[in-house]
A and B are shown apart, each in its own frame.
Chain A
Amino acid sequence: MKPFIAFTKKEMLEYSRSYKIFIFLILFAILGMLSPLSAVFMDDILENFMPKGVKIEITDPTNLDSWMQFFKNGTQTGLMIMVILFSGMMAKEYEKSTLINMVTKGLSRKTVVLSKFTAALILWTVSYWLCFLITLAYTKYYFPDGKTANLGLAVFSLYVFGIMLIAVLLLGAVTFKNVYGPLLLTGGFTLILFLVNIFPKAAEWNPLQLANSNMRVVQGILKLSDLKYSLLTAAIVVAVSLVSSLKIFDRKGL
């Protein structure tokens, strides 16, 4: 346990000294603020951009607009930032052979993989929920009467989708030894999820639901029972990715 804590601490120190922690927190805080604000000011923004004399009718913004922005920003920008920032998690260690010293000192290879995953998970968790809390606070402030159904489930499912991407990214990072391999694997994996979605029967099991159906959850159209298979698939993907990463890393030259 002590080596695991020591190596996870080392990972966090790396994220801190390479300013990744700050980049994460600042970007996710900005995303968190942007969602409710853009919902509130969308009217004014559109009006400014319209040619004179053109009138468009927009209904008053609601808290749902704010959450729509949150899930759009969260999935498109937030997940993208996360994947890019984490893509080099193994590449540098391989490239500079920094792990040789650790492993010859008795650090087990499993600990390396699990520490990498844990540190990334911590960073994702803190940034994501920070983003959510900021959006929640602003939304409550601007739209005090707004109602949502199953907000917790909607937010949680996007969080799980993020964890799944981290696990897939880690598998790529362990396997390909460079920065592009994990990016391509994660990109390819997401693409496959979109392709699977073409088949309506598979959609229920598709973890993509966790990232693209959040608004329908917030509006009360979908419930936990509709998402449970997607959550299960995501958990299986995480488990399989982690176990494969451990197995593959055991056989990798450092």
Chain B
Amino acid sequence: MDILTISGLSKQFGQQQVLKDLSFHVPEGSIYGFIGKNGSGKTTTMKIVLGLLKGDSGSIEVCGEKVKYGHSKTNRYIGYLPDVPEFYNYMTSREYLKLCGEITGIPTGKINGKSDELLSLVGLSNINKRIGAYSRGMKQRLGIAQALLNEPKLLICDEPTSALDPLGRKEILDILQQVKEQTTVIFSTHVLSDVEAICDRIGILDNGTIKLAGDLKEIKLRHHQNCLVICLESKEKVNAFVNSERIRSLRDSADVQGTTIKLKTERPDETMSMVMNVLVSLSIIPSKIEIAKPQLQDIFMEVVE
């Protein structure tokens, strides 16, 4: 079953067309990486899903219910973590969660238990200072806790790791990984390593449309193009290698950048043994030689360009 379905969504700000006939769906139980450059329309899409902005055309369904601007009842299925979450600085995290619980209509008795559980999940249970004294990472973690308070079926995170240091980023990714058991997660980002770390599905947004979407493993397999990377020590050696007869025949698929040569190939094993033979015949010892695995970054660059 799909938790979120967006079909034909368009949005224009003044003269600028931000979203053009955007369509994608997020199946239950996945961690969906919503990838795009800055300004590609990620936040706009999320705000429309939350009913904070009005789409010009198209429709959105959350758990099978249509999203309506202004009075979005569908928000009861959604937990939302804004990119830079802001809370009331004079409260403690427990007080804030209590306020959120009361607003959502969670029974008073249940709020305390749920707060304890979530605060320990995000590692804030022993911190009693007011939110004003929190670091960015702590605020982000509290953001996840408040978003999970109403046990949402869909957790929407807007660039949850972009503003964090490596440690804070890892903490957030670990939490999202844990949360996967209970809820579907969609998170927007331009940090591709984060996507590779935890996502199982992705959608690449560019110029207001989805350029590529689907299962991350399948996409990698489909875009699998083997590539040999050979690093040599000097320019002369590179020239000698590239100009050798057998390599010249591969000229079209060779890409030389400084002292690194990349060879695209259909049959990696054969090409590799040929390359090694050439290197031996020229008495060149490479500093590095490998069959490179396809990276999400390459796929992203290919799709976006």
9 tightest A-B CB contacts, nearest first:
A6-B102, A17-B90, A96-B86, A107-B103, A3-B103, A104-B80, A98-B86, A105-B103, A105-B104
**Is the pair A101, B85 in contact by a Cβ cutoff of 8 Å?**
yes
Q: A13-B91, A14-B90, A105-B75 are in contact. Are A100 and B105 (CB under 8 A)?
A: no
Which residues from chain B contact A129 at a C-beta distance below 8 Å? none
Q: A3-B102, A3-B103, A7-B103 are in contact. Are A104 and B90 (CB under 8 A)?
A: no
| Interface residue? A126 (CB, 8 A) | no
| Interface residue? B179 (CB, 8 A) | no
Q: Which of B51-77 contact A (CB under 8 A)?
A: 51-52, 70, 75-76
13 A-B pairs (CB sep. < 8 Å): A2-B105, A5-B102, A7-B99, A7-B103, A14-B90, A98-B86, A98-B87, A103-B52, A104-B80, A105-B75, A105-B103, A106-B76, A106-B103
| Interface residue? A18 (CB, 8 A) | yes
Distance between Cα atoms of A226 and B52 in the complex (Å)? 49
| Interface residue? B118 (CB, 8 A) | no
The one of B70, B82, B102 in contact with A100, judged by C-beta atoms closer than 8 angstroms, is: B82
**Is the pair B90, A106 in contact by a Cβ cutoff of 8 Å?**
no
Residues of B within 8 A of A (CB): 50-52, 70, 75-76, 78, 80, 82, 85-88, 90-91, 95, 99-100, 102-105, 146, 150
**Is the pair A104, B75 in contact by a Cβ cutoff of 8 Å?**
yes
Distance between Cα atoms of A105 and B148 in the complex (Å)? 11
- Would you give the 0/1 interface string for A81-110, flagging 1 where the beta carbon is closer than 8 Å to chain B? 000000000000000111011111111000
Interface size on A (CB < 8 Å)?
A: 25
**Is the pair B99, A6 in contact by a Cβ cutoff of 8 Å?**
yes
Closest chain A CB from B82 CB (angstroms): 6
**Is the pair B90, A100 in contact by a Cβ cutoff of 8 Å?**
no
**Is the pair B87, A101 in contact by a Cβ cutoff of 8 Å?**
yes
Q: Which of B100, B103, B105 has the most CB of A within 10 A?
A: B103
- Would you give the 0/1 interface string for A235-254, flagging 1 where the beta carbon is closer than 8 Å to chain B? 00000000000000010011
Which residues from chain A contact B150 at a C-beta distance below 8 Å? 105
Q: Told that A2-B102, A10-B99, A253-B52 touch, could you supply 4 new A-B pairs with CB distance under 8 A?
A: A3-B103, A7-B99, A7-B103, A104-B80
